[in-house]
Amino acid sequence: MGATHHNALILAGLAGMISVGCSQGPRRSAPASTAAAVASGSATYYQADSSASYTTSGGLQVSATPLRVTSVVASSPVSAGSPNVTPRVERDAFTDFGESDVVDAQAEPSGDLMYIVEANGTFRVVDTASMELVRAFPLFAEPLAPGRSLRQLTLVSPELAVVPTQGEGFEGLALFDPSTAQSSVDVQWFDLGGLSATWPAGSRNSQGVDVGDRPLQLTEITGVTLVGESVFLCAANTDAAGDHNPGAVVAMHLNQQERRLEARALIRTSAYNPTGMTRVGQQILVTNSGSFGQTGASIDVIDVQSAKRVGTVRFPERLADGRVPDPFGPVVVDPTGRYGYVGSMAQARLYTVDLAQQTYVEDLELPSQSTRNSTEDLTFAGDKLYVANQGDAALNVVDLEKQSVTRVAGFERESDANGQAKLDALVVKESSDGTGEVLAVVNDASADQTAEGQATLDKLTVR
């Protein structure tokens, strides 16, 4: 990986069958054990409030809760007319991006810096107060080869960020200090390409084929978080045919002094295709989307200390309208720590789970004017939940107490006539006067998809 520090993954004392081959060490294997963890794919630093009192959930519901819908188009200025949200937008507030889509964006927990990861491997730091570029550099010394990609940026702490990498010869983790890193020399990359798991005989993939009793490479790292010196990651394990082998969570110990990862535990997820992790205190939530178009979605609850699965929230096989639940991405937890919300891979929908009872609660259908919906990017600010609908190029502001949602349009670009502009990442900051500042990344691809995309940042003020 050029100047980027290349670190070996060393397997140490893991119960079950998990093995890893590394360029800097011999392959080792050991028996497997079950473990559980809660993971975080967003910059969430609060812990669940175990002392709060709650109203008991009504249990499993498969009907969508009707939300009172208001639609507004963000303009500058906008006429008052919405009882819930009055938006003002500054289009193209920041445009100093490369010719590449933005993969993810996060804000530092306090301050005005925004951290951005682009699909071509560039890391950008933007001062959101002045809307000026602070610095930009490639995370890797060499350009990303075709088929290689980056996943969601996770801010573990103000001084530690991690980005999963995917692709042939590129399965791994990149760790760095986002506040000080200046070049690829400041990035540690851990090669996980030799990591594999052997499940018991009779273990089946998403097509019912027995894939047990043989090593299966762990691929497509979709979520990662660090808790102290413990690293938790989840892998979707899609094979060459597009089918899903059993999903996995791997717990590892980060040995910073020797720059290596030592495997600690292997956990099979309760459903196929894990797509996100969220840390909540000493637990990790793993979203299992299920294989595409199939039933069986769930959220696993993993205990950080024991590295064991301690619970599972199972989704219904069908929703009230007959569609298959498709939760996707990390769970976002409300300020009380009681309820979790997760977006949808291909629907204008929001799913609610009761984390205290570990039960599915309901799905909330969101307004949309598109047939290519995806609501995986969501975040809390104050008492409102902000949901980006990628395909609809619109922002949904959900007031859960009032059971109302405001769809804010106005992010479309000229290429929308060809269905290419996407609202891909959100950063929301709340001011003491109740004003919310939404920084929305719009990825605007070329109409014929022959050229690289062009990202832009819109700044939206919401009252």
Residue 231's pLDDT band, with cuts at 50, 70 and 90, is very high
- Which residues on neighbouring strands pair with residue 217, listed in sequence order? 196
The pLDDT score that the predictor gives to residue 425 is 79
Question: Per the domain annotation, does 52 fall within a domain?
Answer: no
The pLDDT score that the predictor gives to residue 292 is 84
The pLDDT score that the predictor gives to residue 298 is 97
Cβ atoms 410, 421 nearer than 8 A: no
The pLDDT score that the predictor gives to residue 354 is 96
Residue 84's pLDDT band, with cuts at 50, 70 and 90, is low
CATH of the domain at 326: 2.130.10.10
- Bridge-based pairing of strands 68-73 and 230-235 is unpaired
The pLDDT score that the predictor gives to residue 353 is 97
Reduced to 3 states, what is the DSSP secondary structure of residue 214? coil
Instruction: Please state, as a whole number, how many other Cβ atoms lie within 10 Å of the Cβ of residue 426.
Output: 21
The mean predicted confidence, pLDDT, of the chain is 79
- Assigned token pair, 47: 């812990």
Residue owning tokens 């933005």: 102
Mean pLDDT of the 402-414 span: 82
pLDDT at 312 over 50: yes
Residue 247's pLDDT band, with cuts at 50, 70 and 90, is very high
The pLDDT score that the predictor gives to residue 403 is 85
Question: Per the domain annotation, does 69 fall within a domain?
Answer: yes
Mean pLDDT of the 273-294 span: 93
Identify the domain containing residue 79 by its residue range: 5-47+61-462
- Rounded to an integer, what distance in angstroms lies between the CA atom of residue 374 and that of residue 386? 14
Question: Per the domain annotation, does 282 fall within a domain?
Answer: yes
Task: Pick the more confident residue, 158 or 258.
Answer: 158
Question: Per the domain annotation, does 56 fall within a domain?
Answer: no
pLDDT at 249 over 90: yes
The pLDDT score that the predictor gives to residue 67 is 53
Dihedral sign (CA 200, 204, 205, 210): positive
pLDDT at 80 over 50: no
Question: Per the domain annotation, does 305 fall within a domain?
Answer: yes
Question: Per the domain annotation, does 55 fall within a domain?
Answer: no
CB contact set of 120 (below 8 Å; sequence gap of 6+): 98, 99, 100, 138, 143, 144, 452
pLDDT at 415 over 70: no
Q: Report DSSP letters for 230-255, one per residue.
A: EEEEEE--B-TTS-BPPPEEEEEEEE
Question: Per the domain annotation, does 210 fall within a domain?
Answer: yes
Question: Per the domain annotation, does 53 fall within a domain?
Answer: no
CB contact set of 375 (below 8 Å; sequence gap of 6+): 343, 344, 347, 348, 349, 350, 366, 387, 388, 389, 390, 396
pLDDT at 357 over 50: yes
pLDDT at 397 over 80: yes
Residue 188's pLDDT band, with cuts at 50, 70 and 90, is very high
Residue 460's pLDDT band, with cuts at 50, 70 and 90, is confident
The pLDDT score that the predictor gives to residue 414 is 63
Total domains in the chain come to 1
